Amino acid sequence: MKKLFVLLVMFLFVFSTISMAEDDNEASDDSSGSDQERERTENTERTQISDESKRKMIEQYNLRRKATQEVKDARLELVKARQEYKNVKESYQVKKQEVSRLKNQYEKCKLSEAETCKLKVKETKLKAKEQLINAADLILNKLGELKAKIQASTDLTEDEVSELIIKLDEQIAEVNEAKLTLENINEETSSEDIKEATKTIRESWHKVKVHYHKVVLRNFGARLRTLIAKAEILGNRAEEKAAEVNLEELNSLIEEYKTHIEQAKEQYNLAREKWE
């Protein structure tokens, strides 16, 4: 009986020990499961953040690539426009020489009734028409070159580019209208009409030259503005580094540098009034 009691006690003791071990294992499993779940959640959040960052980086990269490609395309257009302008200018010089050669004969023949003189007058008018149309093409090509130059700029803002392009498009429309008038000139057109057409082209050419110089100045001003902005960033970085060292001589140099930047800003603002 005593042996049985001892065996029973031993059995209960072993059973309770096993139960406690199982409870500990279950608790451990629960804790481990909780940790794993938390880790999975954190990993998911990190993945989501990482994916969002990647998406933004890809978007920014695509925007930069698009902007870079647009600038490259504009620069190719600029090269093309310059070559076209060169070709038209050469043709214009040839037509101009032809008209100059015929001009003296025209003056002698315009009041004559001789058949040879009548033919010479008609020829001179037609050559003058060709020269004027060629002059219109020269202006249009110059405007096209200028437009490509603006679009190729990396310093002008989008608003500045839009503003300048609108003005150029207005100028192009005006010259195209004048060119259409010239194309309708024939051998029966009066000298007065030819003179009026010549005046229109001459005025358009003068406007283009003025506009061209303004655009060149605006472009230069935008480049200067970019340089000033970069200089400010450089100055701020130098100031932050100098604060860690706190050297009087270095601080003095930085203050002098910042003074020069402010002077450059003032000069830029004064110049800006001239080209706007």
User: What pLDDT digit, counting tens, does each position of 208-231 carry?
Assistant: 877 777 777 777 777 778 787 877
Query: One-letter amino acid identity for 246?
Result: N
At 58, list the tokens.
């890809």
Non-local (6+) Cβ contacts of 155 within 8 A are 219, 222, 223, 225, 226
Which residue carries 């000069």 as its tokens? 267
261: amino acid identity, one letter: I
Percent of the chain with pLDDT over 90: 0
pLDDT value, residue 61: 45
226 vs 89 pLDDT, higher one: 226
**Per-domain residue ranges of the chain:** 55-211
Instruction: Read off the pLDDT of each residue in 252-270 and give the average, rounded to a whole number.
Output: 78
Q: What is the pLDDT of residue 184?
A: 83
Q: d(Cα 4, Cα 6) in Å, to the nearest integer? A: 5
Please state, rounded to an integer, the average pLDDT across all residues of the chain.
69
pLDDT-based confidence at residue 41 (cuts at 50, 70, 90): low
Q: How far apart are alpha carbons 85 and 93 in whole angstroms?
A: 12
CA 40, CA 171: separation in Å to the nearest integer?
A: 65
Lookup: tokens for 62: 């695509």
DSSP 184: T
Residue 202 scores a pLDDT above 80? yes
Q: Is the pLDDT of residue 74 over 70?
A: no
Residue 270 Cα distances to 17, 31, 219, 258, 265, angstroms = 92, 72, 16, 19, 9
23 has a pLDDT exceeding 70: no
Instruction: Measure Cα distances from 233 to 153, 261, 268 in Å.
Output: 22, 11, 17
Task: Compute the distance between CA of residue 273 and CA of residue 116 in angstroms, rounded to an integer.
Answer: 59
| Residue 22 banded pLDDT, cuts 50, 70, 90 | very low
Mean pLDDT on 30-57: 57
Tokens 């004969």, residue? 105
Higher pLDDT, 31 or 107: 107
In which band, very low, low, confident or very high, does the pLDDT at 79 lie, cut at 50, 70 and 90? low
Residue 27 reports pLDDT greater than 60: no
| pLDDT for the residue 240 | 77
pLDDT in tens, 131-184: 888 888 888 988 888 888 888 877 788 888 888 889 889 888 888 888 887 888
Q: Give Cα 172 to chain centroid, integer Å.
A: 21
| pLDDT surpassing 70 at residue 86 | no
Place 67 in a pLDDT band, splitting at 50, 70 and 90. Answer: very low
